[in-house]
Structure 1
Amino acid sequence: MKDSELIEQFNAKSDIEVISTKTLYKGFFQLDEYKFKHKLFSGGWSEVVTREVFERGNAVVVLPYDPITHQVVLIEQIRLPALATTNSVWLLELVAGMIAADEIPAEVAERELMEETGLKASEVHLVNSYLATPGGSSERYHFYWAKVDASKAEGIHGLDYEHEDIKVHVVDFDAAMAMVNSGRIDNASTVIGLQWLALNLDTVRQA
């Protein structure tokens, strides 16, 4: 397939027909049922397909990085769902937070950075956005990197009414990448963020 054909497919919303939607559950999160048909690679259209979609909303994820000391600021907090596949529920993560319907992602990024680390960035840059788990959820992450003074990162943070208990860690970048390679850091947004920084390190440090 040619690059031009891939680009055309990227914009091909006409390739799917949503027949119906129905909300199955609505609480803090929402579960919707979709019935749809889609075009087939072999030609023609599929039969009606039914899928449930976890409607979590969209989020920001922020990579706090100090280009002077070559350190990243990570947060540690408890994540109950991790129990299903690991013995540890204490995860090392990047800063993240949900975006309300009327909020601007960049403003949420700065707010979450302050709430979860106590840091105010001197610069915040949008990197990209990506779907977190498109097989079952509509959630899209807006990924930023933030220039910070890592020497000011310390303590316990989070909002009491959200039951947050967040510990800040300042980690040398090479040590953080070693934890990615060993599996100590195993949540998707943090792995993606650190790998992006590894690929773009020279550009980020020069900027």
Structure 2
Amino acid sequence: MKQDTQNPPTDSQFGKDDVEVISRQTGYQGFFSIQKLELRHKLFAGGWSEPIRRELFVRGGATCMLPYDPVRDLVVLCEQFRIGALYEGSSPWLMELVAGINEEGETPESVACREAQEEAGLEVKALRKIHHYLPSPGGSSEAIDLFCGLVNAEGVEGLYGLPHEGEDIRVRVVSRELAYTWVESGRIRDAAGIIALQWLQLNREQLLAEWREFL
């Protein structure tokens, strides 16, 4: 059954109707935007909260995919500069998954396939949905659709990316086990990469059974 990413299951007693947005203003508009909101919401103990003022980083949806070659037991990773890591850790060049922003009219599946070609020269033969999650819901609207994709990783190492989008990507092909040691050591630090590689470690046998027809 396809997961409803707009209305995922929940056991919370509250929903969107239990939040009242008093005012909403655009504080900044650029590649992304920041909204200034005043709101109140229902309380677990009953009644309503006092008005709360918050800033919301409006980013929308994105798709990340872990390219996996099950025949050779290899994963494909993208090394690139990330501004968000400039003042955190020893280097702002991170080892990440294939990823891209969901444009209007695109499905997460089509984004995964498009970005695999643009960022790593890969053809995706099959996709397995891992999860839909919110990476930083305390202040950002971003939602991530996370996949594992079946690929042939032979000969894809090299430099990729679209220069007009400011992309400078070095594609690395490593064993699944080495990639997981990079998770444990902190070499891989982004949430999508950590989640996807941990998922692959736990679910590899099931995944191979699902992909048997493509192998």
Shorter-chain-normalised TM-score: which range? over 0.9
**Match among 17, 20, 28 for residue 20 of structure 2:** 17
Q: Which string of whole-angstrom CA distances, capped at 9 and with x for unpartnered residues, describes residues 107-155 of structure 1?
A: 1110000000001011123222111210110000111111001113221
- Matched residue count: 202
TM-score (norm 1): 0.93
Identity of aligned residues (%): 46
Partner of 1:75: 78
More helix by share: 1
In structure 2, distance between residues paired with 1:95 and 1:182: 21
Q: What is the Cα deviation at residue 44 of structure 1?
A: 1.1
Shift in alpha-carbon separation, 1:92–1:10, aligned structure 2, 3 A: farther
| Structure 1 segment 172-187 matched on structure 2, within 5 A | 172-187=175-190
Q: Which string of whole-angstrom CA distances, capped at 9 and with x for unpartnered residues, describes residues 166-203 of structure 1?
A: 01111111111111011111111111111111121111
Partner AA of 1:152 in structure 2 = G
| Structure 1 segment 1-207 matched on structure 2, within 5 A | 7-9=10-12, 12-207=15-210
Q: What is the Cα deviation at residue 72 of structure 1?
A: 0.7
- Contact kept in structure 1, 2:130 and 2:199, CA below 8 Å: no
Q: Which string of whole-angstrom CA distances, capped at 9 and with x for unpartnered residues, describes residues 44-92 of structure 1?
A: 1100001100011210001100111111100101112212111211110
Shift in alpha-carbon separation, 1:11–1:105, aligned structure 2, 3 A: farther
- Contact kept in structure 2, 1:119 and 1:152, CA below 8 Å: no
In structure 2, distance between residues paired with 1:177 and 1:23: 41
Partner AA of 1:162 in structure 2 = E
Partner AA of 1:73 in structure 2 = V
Shift in alpha-carbon separation, 1:69–1:11, aligned structure 2, 3 A: farther
Unaligned 5+ residue runs, structure 2?
1-8, 211-215
Unaligned 5+ residue runs, structure 1?
1-5
Q: What is the Cα deviation at residue 8 of structure 1?
A: 3.9
Please give the root-mean-square deviation of Cα atoms over the aligned residues, in Å. Answer: 1.5
TM-score (norm 2): 0.89
